[in-house]
Chain A
Amino acid sequence: MNTTPVLQKPLDSSPAAIVPAQAVTLHVNGEDHTLQLAPWTSLLDALREYLDLTGTKKGCDHGQCGACTVLVNGKRINSCLALATVYQGSDIQTIEGLGTEEELNPLQQAFIDHDAFQCGYCTPGQICSAQGLINEGRAKTVDEVRELMSGNLCRCGAYTNILSAVMEVIDRQAVVNNGTLTTIPA
């Protein structure tokens, strides 16, 4: 039997030192929270593991899927690629801050009406991304929305319904079953 030893380089005599946790204050959904975090804690992990704001999802942790999208000062970012400590002093908005069960954001209502999700895992990221898109003010047509929402993966494949929900909020338009756009009567 041919065997090849596979070796990793040994560690130095002492393992790399653990940097002590430091106080980080985050302004999330209108409230300040001070946390003790290791400096390499991502904003995503800070939200999910330390603030129990689990509406923001982890799908890849590499900025490839968009499930972790949150709004920072109104702009959409991938919170998995953001270090929490960098966002001290910023206005961070998550899905929990975008609307409540009693008072839904128009996008949240449109997502329900258009069945713009199945498993629901990408949904908070899709909604935050769509809100960021609306804030940017540059998407007007379906093709623009398709392009500018393409950073948010949906493995269930709800794209046509997500498009419909977003178009309704942007321009009171909906994609009907034969795929064409129609204006929703006021």
Chain B
Amino acid sequence: MKQTIAAPPVIRLGTDYIGKPVSRVEGLAKVTGAAKYAAEFNVPDLLYGYVVSSPIAKGKITRIHADEVLALSGVLQVFSHENVPSLAWFDRSYKDDLAPGGSPFRPLHDAEILFSQQPVALVVAETFELARYAASLLRVEYAAEAHETDIEKKRDDGYEPGRGKSGFMPPPKPRGNPNEAYKNAAHQHEAEYIHLAQHNNPLENFATTVEWLGEGKKLNIFDKTQGAMNVQQYLTKIFGLSKEEARVISKFTGGAFGAGLRPQYQVFLAVLAALALERSVRVSLTRQQMFSLGHRPHTLQYLKLGANENGGLEAVHHAALAETSQFEDFTEVVVNWSGLLYQCENVKLDYQLTKIDANSPIDMRAPGAATGSFALESAMDELAYKAGVDPLDFRLLNYAERDQNMNKEFSSKKLRECYHQGAARFGWEKRNPTPRSMRDGNWLIGYGMATGCWDATQQKAAAKASLTADGHLMVSSASNDIGTGTYTIMTQIAAQTLGLPLEAVTFRLGDTELPEAPVQGGSWTAASVGTAVQAACQALGKKLLKLAQQLADSPLQGAAFEDVQFVDGVIRLNEDISRRVGIAELLDASGEEKVEAEATTGPNMLKQQPYSMHSHNAVFVEVRVDEDLGTVHVARVVNAVAAGRILNPKTARSQVLGSVVWGIGMALMEESIMDHGFGRYINHSLAEYHIPVMADIHTIDVVLVEEEDDIVNPLGVKGIGEIGFVGVAAAVANAVFHATGKRVRDLPVSLDKLL
């Protein structure tokens, strides 16, 4: 190519999108109903499967009267352990990327019942109405055995879990002499904190539509998941399918909050039925069945804190006992935060599990941290009162400048700024320290605060960028967008990296045919996939520069990639921006149909090894409690978050707003109540499992504290999906204490506990 092209006119497109409050790029699809979720792919000749769930928590299926419903015209099959074809034999075939230690649950594997609502059969029929009706008629006989679903009865049966699931960090070894230090402490506090199980309850029920393509065993699997890749590897191992045969697609996910990290049983059942019947099949769970998918575990926590006369923290002992299933050791990081958040030389942290006859728990937004911070931050509040120190001053006094668990520096930590900015916005200085001292008529007013912490992590991820002759940039990675804003921020990163207008960029995700990405979770997607997208676009930029330098009399002759910038649709020299080549003109002149590049990125271990990497927040809450009725209203919340660079303040703010709503739910409403007689969650509906409605939510003020960090990843982002939630429940409970003088240590803080 030896062609000369004229320099394009200077147009200020403003392609510096990172950090701008860009509206969601998929917004139009969502507000018009065009966005298709897993159960909405209406492929031809679709069959419907309806799940039959076990009414008992433990025992055996003794008989399934399938013949009775198979007699109904239009019912095609009743799948159960009696007729499931032979599948993979070994446990490891059923282990997904996020499986904890133990033996994963295998749907329809044998007659054994391991938990209430376990799927025991799938009735498949020509219509949804018929499948549901036939399922209601299916008689299953069981031999029930005595079950134990009460963690309180298993207090003495705790054990330390093994390695746990990937990413689990067992508590660090004790430091100093916590027992002695506690004994000698001027101010002591010890108490137990409890919350029952809680359920993720995304608004979209789990569902899978399997499209039978009629070419061998080729399937399109439209699944509700946070990780298409994880579902694919699970299915290929169990059903002996190739990756080409098991294409998993998940373009839109109606929330998940952790429940979609592991493949759920509806995808297994839908694929099983589609392969056996050689037809397309849809399986949707009911809201009631959503309570069988895993949960935040019921956890008992014991806290012992000691402070010296000046309020300096001298001793921390935090022990947790959490439930898990009989077959897996579900682990989360509950207690480690207590050795990390505050400066203390004498620390002992214990984490144990105990087995009950329920399904395995699953990650639920800020898993472990939400649990642990409720106990730690409540206890810190209690000790602050005992020491006669303002709760905010108490935290500043014991501020950790260093991660004592790991003995490492923080890569960055703007928690102090969170405290100061949050307190100023909230008006913390107006707080009368005495409990039950502030009121407005019949309303008792309380101010409470708490701190949160979450990990900043980056995973290996890949992305591909493809610029076509029409000037359109397609960027793709098999990630997911569960409402977090992935579509939007990846589009922003790609557009800015190559200096193209946002409208010229499309980001694709949720498809196993795209470059590999980790599950969307752990607040790592912006860091992991964002870095890969940026790298793929940079690689593409290098190819474009090369093409530009092949032009006759190229104005970019001899320039290295570092010497040029991609801005406003042109490549130009840093030193002389008048020396530029238009990208559209370049594509035209080059005659290339498309220019493509791929990149795989991962954390820079060498650079990160010396550092501890975390996001932080400080939450300030005003509650109003009706003195006579005990009803709690959260009137005002200020949530100051330091989470590295904010890619999009609009979607980031929404993540924090949602987190506050979650915190209010956890503090005041959410609990899955186990009826130990039946071994089943009895409030398994959205009428009885309460989550906040609009009337419950008042003023929420989000402060995004500036924080620079060039250690965590090239983008400097820490992720914001979980951090805003951590600490909120404790802040609400602490505010309730300040309002009423009543300390509630078992969530939720319901009105009966205040009267």
Residues of A within 8 A of B (CB): 1-8, 10-11, 15-16, 18, 37-38, 40-41, 45, 48-49, 52-62, 64-65, 67, 94-96, 99-101, 104, 108-109, 111-113, 115, 117-124, 127, 145-147, 149-163, 177-180
Flag whether B630 is at the interface (Cβ < 8 A).
no
Q: Is the CB of B28 within 8 A of A1?
A: no
Distance between Cα atoms of A100 and B34 in the complex (Å): 10
Of all chain B residues, the one with the shortest Cβ separation from A42 is B129
Q: Is the CB of B203 within 8 A of A122?
A: yes
Flag whether B471 is at the interface (Cβ < 8 A).
no
Flag whether B73 is at the interface (Cβ < 8 A).
yes
Of all chain A residues, the one with the shortest Cβ separation from B659 is A157
Distance between Cα atoms of A83 and B248 in the complex (Å): 34
Residues of chain B in range 183-222 having any CB-CB distance to chain A below 8 Å: 201-205
Q: Which of B26, B32, B69, B660 contacts A157 (CB 8 A)?
A: B660
Flag whether B606 is at the interface (Cβ < 8 A).
no
CB distance from A95 to the nearest CB of B (A): 4
Give the interface size bracket for B toward A.
35 or more
Q: Is the CB of A127 within 8 A of B31?
A: yes
A-B contact pairs, 27 of them (CB 8 A): A4-B145, A5-B144, A15-B71, A18-B72, A37-B129, A38-B127, A52-B42, A54-B42, A55-B32, A56-B33, A58-B39, A59-B686, A104-B31, A111-B27, A112-B27, A115-B651, A118-B483, A118-B655, A119-B252, A120-B252, A150-B693, A152-B694, A157-B658, A157-B697, A158-B657, A161-B657, A179-B636
Distance between Cα atoms of A57 and B685 in the complex (Å): 17
Q: Provided the pairs A15-B137, A163-B694 are in contact, do residues A119 and B255 lie with their beta carbons within 8 angstroms?
A: yes
Q: Is the CB of B72 within 8 A of A62?
A: no
Q: Is the CB of A101 within 8 A of B252?
A: no
Q: Is the CB of B72 within 8 A of A95?
A: no
CB distance from B445 to the nearest CB of A (A): 16
Q: Is the CB of A120 within 8 A of B137?
A: no
From B55-63, B296-304, B331-339, give the one contacting chain A: B55-63
Residues of chain B in range 630-659 having any CB-CB distance to chain A below 8 Å: 636, 650-651, 653-655, 657-659
Flag whether B92 is at the interface (Cβ < 8 A).
no
Distance between Cα atoms of A23 and B72 in the complex (Å): 21
Which residues of the partner chain A approach B695 to less than 8 Å between Cβ atoms?
146-147, 150
Residues of chain B in range 674-714 having any CB-CB distance to chain A below 8 Å: 685-687, 691-695, 697-702
Which residues of the partner chain A approach B201 to less than 8 Å between Cβ atoms?
155
Which residues of the partner chain A approach B287 to less than 8 Å between Cβ atoms?
59-62, 64-65
Q: Is the CB of B636 within 8 A of A149?
A: no
Residues of chain B in range 73-113 having any CB-CB distance to chain A below 8 Å: 73-74
Residues of B within 8 A of A (CB): 23-24, 26-37, 39-40, 42, 55-56, 59-60, 62, 68-69, 71-74, 127-130, 133, 137, 139-146, 201-205, 252-255, 257, 284, 286-287, 425, 482-485, 636, 650-651, 653-655, 657-662, 685-687, 691-695, 697-702
Distance between Cα atoms of A161 and B655 in the complex (Å): 12
Q: Is the CB of B30 within 8 A of A117?
A: yes
Q: Which of A38, A40, A120, A177 contacts B254 (CB 8 A)?
A: A120
Q: Which of B23, B28, B56 contacts A115 (CB 8 A)?
A: B23
Of all chain A residues, the one with the shortest Cβ separation from B207 is A58
Which residues of the partner chain B approach A49 to less than 8 Å between Cβ atoms?
42, 127-128
Of all chain B residues, the one with the shortest Cβ separation from A41 is B129
Q: Which of B129, B202, B661 contacts A119 (CB 8 A)?
A: B202
In the complex, besides A11-B68, A60-B685, A120-B30, 15 extra interface pairs with C-beta distance below 8 angstroms are: A4-B145, A5-B62, A5-B141, A38-B130, A40-B133, A54-B42, A59-B203, A59-B287, A65-B686, A119-B203, A121-B204, A147-B694, A157-B659, A160-B697, A177-B653
Which residues of the partner chain A approach B485 to less than 8 Å between Cβ atoms?
118
Q: Is the CB of B141 within 8 A of A162?
A: no
Q: Is the CB of A18 within 8 A of B40?
A: no
Distance between Cα atoms of A136 and B59 in the complex (Å): 53
Which residues of the partner chain B approach A157 to less than 8 Å between Cβ atoms?
657-662, 692, 697
Q: How many A-B residue pairs have CB under 8 A?
A: 238
Distance between Cα atoms of A5 and B141 in the complex (Å): 7
Distance between Cα atoms of A164 and B24 in the complex (Å): 17
CB distance from A44 to the nearest CB of B (A): 11
Distance between Cα atoms of A39 and B698 in the complex (Å): 43
Among A1, A52, A59: residue with most chain B CB under 10 A: A59
Which residues of the partner chain B approach A117 to less than 8 Å between Cβ atoms?
24, 27, 30-31, 483
Distance between Cα atoms of A55 and B254 in the complex (Å): 12
Of all chain A residues, the one with the shortest Cβ separation from B56 is A6
Distance between Cα atoms of A122 and B128 in the complex (Å): 22
Distance between Cα atoms of A112 and B29 in the complex (Å): 10
Distance between Cα atoms of A152 and B696 in the complex (Å): 12
Q: Is the CB of A18 within 8 A of B74?
A: yes
Q: Is the CB of B701 within 8 A of A112?
A: no
Of all chain A residues, the one with the shortest Cβ separation from B636 is A179
Of all chain A residues, the one with the shortest Cβ separation from B255 is A119
Distance between Cα atoms of A163 and B697 in the complex (Å): 10
Q: Is the CB of A62 within 8 A of B697?
A: no
Which residues of the partner chain A approach B127 to less than 8 Å between Cβ atoms?
38, 49
Q: Which of A5, A11, A154, A160 contacts B142 (CB 8 A)?
A: A5
Q: Is the CB of A112 within 8 A of B144?
A: no
Distance between Cα atoms of A146 and B635 in the complex (Å): 13
Q: Is the CB of B254 within 8 A of A160?
A: no
Q: Is the CB of A155 within 8 A of B202?
A: yes
Which residues of the partner chain A approach B28 to less than 8 Å between Cβ atoms?
101, 104, 112
Q: Is the CB of B144 within 8 A of A6?
A: yes
Q: Is the CB of B253 within 8 A of A119?
A: yes
Q: Is the CB of A99 within 8 A of B657?
A: no
Of all chain A residues, the one with the shortest Cβ separation from B665 is A157
Q: Is the CB of B484 within 8 A of A118?
A: yes
Of all chain B residues, the one with the shortest Cβ separation from A151 is B693
Among B62, B144, B146, B657: residue with most chain A CB under 10 A: B657
Of all chain A residues, the one with the shortest Cβ separation from B23 is A112
Distance between Cα atoms of A47 and B360 in the complex (Å): 36
CB distance from A66 to the nearest CB of B (A): 9
Distance between Cα atoms of A104 and B72 in the complex (Å): 46
Distance between Cα atoms of A128 and B692 in the complex (Å): 20
Distance between Cα atoms of A94 and B146 in the complex (Å): 49
Which residues of the partner chain B approach A151 to less than 8 Å between Cβ atoms?
693
Of all chain A residues, the one with the shortest Cβ separation from B137 is A15
Among B127, B139, B485: residue with most chain A CB under 10 A: B127
Q: Is the CB of A3 within 8 A of B143?
A: yes
CB distance from B75 to the nearest CB of A (A): 10
Distance between Cα atoms of A120 and B143 in the complex (Å): 43
Closest 4 CB pairs of A and B: A55-B33, A157-B661, A179-B699, A121-B254
Which residues of the partner chain A approach B62 to less than 8 Å between Cβ atoms?
5
Of all chain A residues, the one with the shortest Cβ separation from B75 is A18
Of all chain A residues, the one with the shortest Cβ separation from B660 is A157
Which residues of the partner chain A approach B30 to less than 8 Å between Cβ atoms?
117, 120, 123
Q: Which of A4, A15, A62, A156 contacts B687 (CB 8 A)?
A: A62
Q: Is the CB of A123 within 8 A of B137?
A: no
Q: Is the CB of B686 within 8 A of A178?
A: no
Which residues of the partner chain A approach B654 to less than 8 Å between Cβ atoms?
115, 118, 156, 158, 161
Of all chain A residues, the one with the shortest Cβ separation from B655 is A118
Q: Is the CB of B32 within 8 A of A96?
A: yes
CB distance from B539 to the nearest CB of A (A): 31
Which residues of the partner chain A approach B36 to less than 8 Å between Cβ atoms?
54
